[in-house]
Amino acid sequence: MSWKILEIDEREIALKYQVDPLCAKLLSAGQLSDDQIRELLDPDLRLTTSEADCVRKCASRLLQAREKKEKVFVGGDYDADGICATAIMKDLLDRLNIENGYYIPNRFEEGYGLSPETVERAAEKGYTLILTVDNGVKAFAAVEKAHELGLEIYVTDHHTIDIRPDADLIVHPDDMEPEYAYLSGAGVALQISRTLLGDVPEHTALAAVAAIGDVMPLWRETRKIVLAGVPLIHTLPVLPLKTLFRSGSKMDERAVAFEIVPKLNSAGRMNDLANVNTLVRYLLLKDPEQITRYALQLETVNDKRKELSAQMTERAEELWTDDALPVIYEESFHEGICGLAAGRLCEKFRKPVLVMARHGDEIKGSGRSVPGFDLYSFFAGFEGLTSFGGHEQAVGIGIKAEDLDQFRAQVRERMESVRIPQEQEERLAILIRREDLTFDYIASIQSLYPLPKELSDLRFALRGEQIREYQELKSVYKYKIDTPEGGLEAVAFPWQKLKRTPVPYLLIGMPNLNRWRNSVTKQLILDDIE
């Protein structure tokens, strides 16, 4: 990894905002606006509710549905955000005593978003109003089918709108106040819930998980939702989310990202082992025995996902080619794991890559790219694709099985005229002294958590000449450093495969206060050693 070391004069920021030197250096390096800095230092944690017309009209229409005893159908999505959004909307309708149903499509058989076929089934079952959650702004055919069958359709979504579908109503952050610009799909559902029911802690907790799972910018109302919702996972008497944590884990946004979100996503990725629709019911369960039983099943599915991911990545590495954009395919690959394998290969080899698996008469897969190369634009001009979607850094592609060789040849030919940036992405690290690593200063950094992306990508760099002792153990290796108020350990783990040297030039990482039983110790959790 390549690092640019920043030497920052923090005095102006420290004086203006009355913060300590370590915090001032981080805020300065993040190049934040005055409003952003004040939001971090003096946050107003009170949740608010959008007063936008689209939110109010949706809420009013649901009350009308209750009065008329209509049946309302919720069309969801199969990732963590979509699952949580579906659960919020389902629970909202239950609490309003509105007869309802929901459906999340099989990502392999049906693809993303509400389909005309699902709309037809909803009409046959007597639903008169359809609500999409975390999808719908591209569901043109489904909207047309709903109107053809005499159904109303309300789209609640947060994805980019290129052309607005002809829905009866669109509830979207674009049509809300600026405070709500960064809402996830579940965050949009939360606004409708808050309008009708006020504060429902379970809904806030679900929206917090969704925001973390969808990697939403942690500013404005979305930041408030995460700060309010994550602690609720621990304190709520209802256990579905809490049960997904490992025993003894510190319950914070990082644990949500690495322990809850992958398990929710695994149900959508492993549709051959799990029905993602049952996960919505799980998130709304109240019975502890049922919760424990389902959580164990989900753990098994996630373990299988991890096992397959490791195996597929290893095999994909064996199939790696010197092509500028390798197309890696093997019939035994699992379609739901292609994106994970592609991401790991892209990160390791610093090249764009497409990993593909057999799907009936088709071959489908996922691509990941490096900064500076627009994978979506590259594939957008290809003819004969059976499916295609995504964005600059990630795409999903389908082709006819018999077209694989031709497709590979087309990729090679087009890549001949493309230049991919070869330089490694440079990350930023702020040079500090051991005097900067006091308990109070580290605590001030942690008071800013969850860090928005502008800060979360930054690290601190400490010169190796300040090391007093090096210790290498089986499960960890550490550097001991003296500071004015006691020792600090810089910690790395064998799985990181960092350079092992007793006298490094730089230690690069993030400071942490490690609380264990009745003691608190200072650490520098290392990302790199130079």
pLDDT digits (tens, 9 = 90+) for 186-234: 999 999 999 999 999 999 999 999 999 988 999 999 999 999 999 999 8
Query: Which positions ≥6 away from 281 have C-beta within 8 Å?
Result: none
- CA distances 54 to 48, 166, 171, 175, 176, Å, are 16, 14, 5, 7, 8
Residue 247: which pLDDT band, with cuts at 50, 70 and 90?
A: low
- Domain shared by 98 and 135, yes or no: yes
What residues have CB less than 8 Å from 227, skipping those under 6 apart?
A: 43, 45, 450
pLDDT of 271 strictly over 70: yes
In whole angstroms, give the CA distance from residue 197 to residue 229: 17
Do 495 and 394 fall within a single domain? Answer: no
Together in a domain, 496 and 410: no
Same structural domain for residues 106 and 194? yes
3-state helix, strand, coil in the chain (%, to 5): 45, 20, 35
Q: What is the pLDDT of residues 358-394, one digit of tens each?
A: 988 989 989 998 878 888 889 988 888 988 877 778 8
Residue 10 placed within a domain:
no
Supply 453's token pair. 């992306």
CB 336 within 8 A of CB 269: yes
| Same-domain pairing of 451 and 372 | no
User: Domain ends where: 365, 383, 415?
Assistant: 415
| Torsions phi, psi for 252 (to 5 deg) | -140, -175
CATH number for position 190: 3.90.1640.30
pLDDT of the residue at 250: 74
- Nearest-angstrom CA–CA distance, 338 and 353: 11
Query: Which pLDDT tens digit goes with each residue over 458-473?
Result: 999 998 877 888 888 8
In a domain, 401, yes or no: yes
**What pLDDT is stored for residue 84 in this prediction?**
97
Rounded CA gap, 338 and 231, in Å? 34
Average pLDDT over residues 235-252: 81
Query: According to the model, what pLDDT value does residue 418 have?
Result: 81
CATH number of domain containing 476 = 2.40.50.140
Strands annotated E in 341-408: 353-359, 362-368, 387-391, 394-400
The whole-number pLDDT of residue 421 equals: 67
Confidence at residue 66, expressed as pLDDT on a 0 to 100 scale = 97
Residue 440 lies in a domain: yes
At residue 253's C-alpha, the angle toward residues 250 and 255, to 5°, is 45
User: What confidence category does residue 18 fall into, taking pLDDT thresholds of 50, 70 and 90?
Assistant: very high
State yes or no: pLDDT of 335 exceeds 90.
no
Flag whether 296 is in a domain. Answer: no
Q: How many separate domains does the chain show?
A: 3
Share of the chain above pLDDT 90, in %: 58
CA dihedral 307, 309, 311, 314 (to 10 degrees): -140
- Write the pLDDT tens digit of every residue in 19-28: 999 999 999 9
Let me know if residue 399 belongs to a domain.
yes
Asked if residue 219 belongs to a domain, the reply is yes
> Residues 152, 220: one domain?
yes
The reply to whether 389 and 505 lie within a common domain is: no
CA pair distance 146, 144, nearest whole angstrom: 5
What is 426-473 written as a DSSP string?
Answer: EEEEEEE-GGG--HHHHHHHHTTPSPPHHHHT-EEEEEGGGEEEEEE-
Instruction: Kindly state whether residue 303 falls inside one of the protein's structural domains.
Output: no
Residue 424 scores a pLDDT above 60: no
370 residue type, one letter? V
Given 175, 202, 225, the domain boundary residue is: 225
Let me know whether 79 and 211 are in one domain. yes
pTM greater than the 0.85 cutoff: yes
Same domain, 119 and 180: yes
| C-beta separation of 220 from 180 below 8 A | yes
Would 276 be classed as within a structural domain? Answer: no
CA-CA distance, 432 to 278, in Å (whole number)? Answer: 50
What average pLDDT does range 241-266 have in this prediction?
A: 85
pLDDT at 138: 87
The domain boundary, picked from 225, 254, 284, lies at 225
**Which backbone phi and psi does 400 adopt, to 5 degrees?**
-70, 140
Which tokens hold the place of 316? 């994909």
Query: Quick one: 67 and 140 in the same domain?
Result: yes
Q: Can you say how many angstroms the Cα of residue 295 is from the centroid of all Cα atoms in its chain?
A: 21
pLDDT digits (tens, 9 = 90+) for 55-109: 999 999 999 999 999 999 999 998 899 999 999 999 999 999 999 999 999 877 7
**CA separation (Å) from 44 to 48, 127, 191?**
10, 41, 18
Report the pLDDT averaged over residues 32-55.
94
CATH of the domain at 408: 3.10.310.30
Mean model confidence pLDDT for the chain: 90
What was the pLDDT predicted at 308?
87
Per-residue pLDDT tens for 512-530?
Answer: 988 777 788 888 899 988 8
Residue 450: asked if its preceding bond is cis (omega within 30°), the reply is yes
Residues 121 and 219 in one domain: yes
Give, for 493, the enclosing helix (H) or strand (E): none
What is the span of the domain harbouring residue 127?
A: 53-225
The helix/strand/coil state of 5 is strand
pLDDT of residue 289: 92
Is the per-residue pLDDT at 235 higher than 80? yes
Residue 81 sits in the same domain as residue 212: yes
